[in-house]
Amino acid sequence: MKKLLTILTSCSTALLVFASTTLVKNSNNKNIIINYNSKNISKEHKIWGDRLTEIGYKTENGQVRIKQIPHIVNVIAAQLPTEITSLKGAFQARTNNITWTVDWDTSRITNMNSMFYNTTWFNNDAILKWDTSNVTDMGEMFAYSKGFNHNLSSWDVSNVTNMERMFLNSTKFNNGNKPLEWGPKLKKIKNMKEMFKDAKAFKQNLNSWLMKTEVNNNDFGLDQDYQPKWLEKTEAAKPEISTEEILSPKADEALESPHTDNNLNEITKDKQKDDSKKINILEDNTYKMYLL
């Protein structure tokens, strides 16, 4: 009996361990174990000289986010791990340019917020080939960038909802001096607040963009003639008021009041009492005259 209990206990423990872990292949086709009972997953970068040979990541707000790439890295020589869904802030505040020796598969990425925020010399066209079809957040992606100026028209932005401050104060960006052809692709966009604010180099006309959703376009940053054709915000219809209601706003209240009949009866009774008093006074005076 003791042996049976020992066997059952061992099997249960093994099942629990198996249920809490999963064997997956990483981007280098090597098996790794991910423990889902663990609150945080973290992996460090591997760097050889100025080359990034393996990419680190961590869990954050339900996403797997790339760890910010150190400033000593000039060359990306590592595939993007399949676990990563967020590239938020990956190259933020970089003062040097970056080159890729491998193509990144970005088809699973949903967040590119602040990815090249405040970069100085970054201007690599390798990113033009990226698959952005699942990205929803591009807020501040190139904000305060000082060197980037390439044509981004090829990007699929059909699922992007947030472009707030995307090119805020981006001093050189003019879309490679070509029209930015995103108009028909912007199907889910909701926020373009300050998108081109202080982007003084940007001279492209976006008037052909016909917005099909209501968008927050506060302080968009371009002259009115260069802005997209915004969908007007709908307002609830106000009830119509007749001329009679305007001239006599309380007329209906008097007619509809449930106390109207009672009030009239009270007024009539009071009037009858006053008339009765007057008659009594007259009778008394007449009686006095006869006595005289």
Please check the confidence at residue 35 and state whether its pLDDT lies above 70. Answer: no
Please check the confidence at residue 212 and state whether its pLDDT lies above 60. Answer: yes
Q: Return the minimum-mean-pLDDT range out of 11-15, 193-197, 216-220, 269-273.
A: 11-15
Tell me the average pLDDT across 30-45: 65
Say what the pLDDT of residue 74 is. 97
Summarised one tens digit per residue, pLDDT across range 56-65 is 999 999 999 9
Q: Return the minimum-mean-pLDDT range out of 1-15, 38-52, 111-125.
A: 1-15
Cβ(173)–Cβ(149) under 8 Å?
yes
Which residues in the chain belong to E strands, given as ranges?
A: 21-25, 31-35, 42-43, 46-48, 51-54, 57-60, 63-66, 75-76, 99-100
- As a whole number of angstroms, the distance between CA 15 and CA 21 comes to 10
Say what the pLDDT of residue 11 is. 46
- As a whole number of angstroms, the distance between CA 137 and CA 219 comes to 19
User: 135-156 as b/e, with b when 16 or more CB fall inside 10 Å?
Assistant: bbbbbbbbbbbbbbbbbbeebe
Tell me the average pLDDT across 95-123: 97
Query: When comparing pLDDT for 258 and 68, which is higher?
Result: 68
| Sign of CA pseudo-dihedral 135, 74, 69, 146 | negative
Specify the pTM.
0.70
Q: What burial class does residue 16 get, using C-beta atoms within 10 Å of its C-beta: 0-12 exposed, 13-18 middle, 19+ buried?
A: exposed
Query: When comparing pLDDT for 41 and 258, which is higher?
Result: 41
Say what the pLDDT of residue 266 is. 54
Instruction: Find the helix or strand (DSSP H, E) in which 284 lies.
Output: helix 260-291
Query: When comparing pLDDT for 271 and 211, which is higher?
Result: 211
Per-chain mean pLDDT for the chain: 80
Tell me the average pLDDT across 172-186: 98
Determine the 3-state secondary structure of 8 from DSSP: helix
Please check the confidence at residue 38 and state whether its pLDDT lies above 60. Answer: no
Say what the pLDDT of residue 273 is. 53
**Among the listed residues 232, 225, 188, the one whose alpha carbon sits nearest the alpha carbon of residue 204:** 225
Say what the pLDDT of residue 265 is. 53
Say what the pLDDT of residue 40 is. 83
218 contacts: CB under 8 Å, gap ≥ 6: 193, 194
Kind of pairing, strands 75-76 and 99-100? parallel
Summarised one tens digit per residue, pLDDT across range 132-163 is 999 999 999 999 999 999 999 999 999 999 99
- As a whole number of angstroms, the distance between CA 22 and CA 20 comes to 7
Q: For the chain, state the CA radius of gyration.
A: 38
Say what the pLDDT of residue 39 is. 64
Cβ(118)–Cβ(96) under 8 Å?
no
Say what the pLDDT of residue 260 is. 46
Helix locations, 131-259, DSSP H: 243-247, 251-256
Say what the pLDDT of residue 161 is. 98
Tell me the average pLDDT across 264-269: 50
Say what the pLDDT of residue 8 is. 42
Q: Residue 79, Cα to own-chain centre: how many angstroms? A: 30
% of residues, the chain, pLDDT over 70: 66
Q: What is the dihedral of CA 98, 103, 106, 112, to 10 degrees?
A: 10
Domain locations in the chain? 87-251
